[in-house]
Structure 1
């Protein structure tokens, strides 16, 4: 076994690991696992705070009462812009790890969170113009990129047999940043504090995350960008089909996380404190249940779980329409929480589908063994960055839909009808592409007893 080397690369700053082979079981058990787990812990910390800063404005708008002069439409537009930037920056953040190194980029990306947080602390008072708030919100969007770079970084540290657990823990730890900042806001509001108190809490936490990353994380010298894989993934139809499905799952999660409190205020007349008491529950459960969606997909197939999950999301959305029309707050909150849980399950099942789809394509092309694994790993890794970015755009659509619905109808009912229609489309796409078996194919297989079994998409 080759001894691990953590010597500094002569031409690059930072802690660089020159030899890293997690697939070597002896290497993994002696030194690899300990190093990987350490990097995972501090990566989760930074990503968690990144998610909190990204969704900061979902909380700040609850503080911004009539004195701020912002209409409900203004607030939905503000959160839409935050979500949009968070989605777009996921693409360059995906490639930044190979350019700068995982440790180095974690330090940089964590430190960048100080910019929107300090800026918001400076301008957060009545009398500030809407355009200023909008620009500060745009800056906060960079927190959404931390997910992409963190997932890319951690993916390199763990062997294939451990990636599901590691990536699930990494993603879940980041997603929990959404309910955590809402809980912190609840405590601040309950104690009579204002938005600047909340911002003041997070500024030192960002500094701590950056310092800990510098002290305890590592770069892996062998991680390099494969621009060819990115181009191949972008040309593959499955990348864009799965992007549509991820819009329905993660897009719903992040969009509802931004919008839930505003809907409670505008449609049901809740105060900031009353809204804050309710908004954290859905994102918390949706984050915690994400690994469950992956486990169910492992057992029953990601396509099947995703299909029926969209049925359940459509049914829950239909009940929300009824609850909104009847002004039933208990029913509305209960079903909205269920919708968050379903979005979390769908996050797990859709992301589980991606490597399986490209593995199935490799087998269909005649590849076997390590060749098939390498093909699937190469394209699925490249496609995940694109799918994650497009999926986050669903959050933009949700906030814009709520904005238009409140402008046109004075309630969120119109938006929920649109979401129901989208879930129906996502159901149809999942069935048609990944579960439907054409009759001609079935007859040909039955007629030819010597036909080799084909790896279909139903099991992915």
Structure 2
């Protein structure tokens, strides 16, 4: 249904008039749809484990397959974000969930030896629609919750969706362990896709005040914070999805694990990274997203340093342990960076003199537009990770060179976070024409 009045920052509306109950109901079914979307987006990280020598595709070709799924999933996030305002959150969730049938059924039909590489590539490209679900889901849920709860709500929404990555890997592990084929994995997901579309139709809502706003889009594109946060999200979410897609292949290629052995290890990191994402948002709600994000990047750098050592020593236990820690940190960082986005735009609205619900509404308006762009660029980080690993294995036969590049990148991300959002202002006040003096805007608590 369409909701005509929505004022989540109003405590009476939120607590006494049922706003919180409606928001949480929409969150539950948004998580379901996004979860299935992530599973479909991640299908080829599992399908490649089934593709033995009889398929005639080498490791580089498999890395390229999962890279293309990542690419499309990132690109479609932009139109998916704006589709929420065009069609309504409920209506677009039904459409987006239904579209997941296309890549799943297509892969079910062609998944066998003898199929051309270009056909597999087309099927991998189609799974990208699953990645788009994240952007529309986050934009929609961002409109439902007040700023004080956005970190937890957005973290829970995204974390529940991210769990789709390890869940499809667990399904793949169960099927491989039982001696089944890839079509079994695909067949499992078709009824879940139908269920998520039906639940969205029956139990979700659309907010009438959320409308396509070209002014908000233009303002988000022009605002430098949109692109700074996009860069930071490359470091967190780009790492999560890139590692999630590539980890099983790395274990097979660098450490010689069988498909079953790789599948037994692949799901652990993405599962933990998904589960902790809401806590990254909760920590950001309490201590400030910028502070949590900075410490998170420093931790990611340390974990990546251990990955480099493990790769050079060819120590599988150390390698897996460090990667699991890295996955956990990406999850925390995903939660903290996404909490920063609405906080930054609301802080800028308040600095322009807006207060209360007006400032909150302006923050929701601009952050909703920015989230699609930030999510898209962040998804492209996963493409970069897969291509870097592909090049490293082709050049030197291991992923060490790529890991060193990732380590340097996390150092840059930590520096940007500190410099832009946490450094102490040179001056505490700035003069303005109409008020004479105005406190300088600080983002330390966003």
Q: TM-score, normalised by structure 1?
A: 0.91
Question: Compared with structure 1, are the counterparts of its residues 38 and 459 closer, same or farther at alpha carbon in structure 2 (3 Å cutoff)?
Answer: closer
Specify the structure having the higher radius of gyration (Cα). 1
| CA distance in 2: counterparts of 1:197 and 1:45, whole angstroms | 21
Alignment of 1:263-412 (within 5 A): 263-412=250-399
Partner of 1:458: 444
Q: Deviations over 1:134-154 (max 9, x none)?
A: 111000010001111112222
**Higher deviation after alignment, 402-411 or 424-433:** 424-433
Structure-2 change in CA distance of 1:113 and 1:298 (3 Å): same
1:12 is aligned to none
Distance in 1 (alpha carbons) for counterparts of 2:284 and 2:148 = 16
Cα offset for 1:202? 0.6
Q: Does 1:178 align with 2:169?
A: no
Cα deviation code 1:315-366 (max 9, x no counterpart): 1111111101111000000000000011111111111222222233334444
Note closer, same or farther for the CA distance 1:417–1:277 as it changes in structure 2 (3 Å cut). same
Name the SS for the 1:128 alignment partner. coil
The corresponding residue for 1:46 is 33
Shift of 1:195: 0.6
Instruction: Say whether residues 1:16 and 2:33 are aligned partners.
Output: no
Conserved? CA contact 1:363–1:455, under 8 Å: no
Distance 2:397 2:269 in 1: 24
Query: Would the aligned equivalents of 2:341 and 2:367 in 1 still touch at CA under 8 Å?
Result: yes
Q: Deviations over 1:67-89 (max 9, x none)?
A: 11111111111111100100111
Give the aligned partner of residue 237 of structure 2.
250
Distance 1:25 1:375, change over 3 A: closer
Hey, what does 2:130 align to over in structure 1?
143
RMSD (Å) for aligned C-alpha atoms: 2.2
User: Are residue 121 (structure 1) and residue 102 (structure 2) matched?
Assistant: no
Question: What is the distance in 2 between the residues matched to 1:361 and 1:420?
Answer: 32
Give unmatched runs, 5+ long, in structure 2: none
> How far apart are residue 368 of structure 1 and its match?
4.2
Q: Residue 227 of structure 1: CA displacement?
A: 1.4
Larger mean Cα displacement after TM superposition, 207-216 or 68-77: 207-216
**Cα deviations by residue, 1:140-177 (Å, 9 ceiling, x for unpaired):** 01000111111222233334444433322211111111
Q: Deviations over 1:222-264 (max 9, x none)?
A: 3212111111010011110111000000100000000100000
Following TM superposition, by how much is the alpha carbon of 1:189 offset from its aligned partner in structure 2, in angstroms? Answer: 0.9
| Cα drift, residue 453 of structure 1 | 4.5
Correspondences of 1:413-432 after superposition (within 5 Å): 413-432=400-419
Comparing 351-360 with 121-130, greater Cα deviation is found at 351-360
State how far apart, in whole Å, the 1-side matches of 2:167 and 2:293 are.
27
CA 1:219/1:274 → structure 2, altered by over 3 Å: closer, same or farther? Answer: same
- d(CA) in 1 for partners of 2:356 and 2:94? 38
70-79 or 24-33: bigger deviation: 24-33
Q: Does 1:441 align with 2:431?
A: no
State the number of aligned residues: 441
Displacement of 1:378: 2.5
Mapped contact 1:79–1:258 kept (Cα < 8 A):
yes
What corresponds to 1:198 in structure 2?
Answer: 185
**CA displacement at 1:208 relative to structure 2:** 1.6
Gap change, CA 1:373 and 1:204, over 3 Å in 2:
closer
CA contact (8 A) 2:155 2:279 kept: no
Q: How does 1:56-75 map to 2 (within 5 A)?
A: 56-75=43-62
Equivalence for 1:261:
248
Tell me how far apart the structure 2 counterparts of residues 376 and 219 of structure 1 sit (CA, whole Å): 19
**TM-aligned CA deviation for residue 36 of structure 1:** 3.0
> Partners of 1:417 and 1:311 in 2: how far apart?
15
Higher mean C-alpha displacement, 134-143 vs 209-218: 209-218
Q: SS of the residue aligned with 1:457?
A: coil
Moved more, 294-303 or 38-47: 294-303
**Higher deviation after alignment, 422-431 or 149-158:** 149-158
Q: 1:155 to 1:377 in 2, by over 3 A?
A: closer
Aligned to 2:204: 217
Query: Which residue in the other structure is 1:101 paired with?
Result: 88
Q: How far apart, in 2, do the equivalents of 1:237 and 1:270 lie?
A: 44
CA distance in 2, matches of 1:390, 1:351: 13
Deviation at 1:215, TM superposition (A): 2.5
Query: Hey, what does 1:4 align to over in structure 2?
Result: none
Equivalent residue for 1:83?
70
What is the distance in 1 between the residues matched to 2:66 and 2:9?
43
Q: Normalised by the size of structure 2, how large is the TM-score?
A: 0.93
1:134 aligns with 2:121: yes
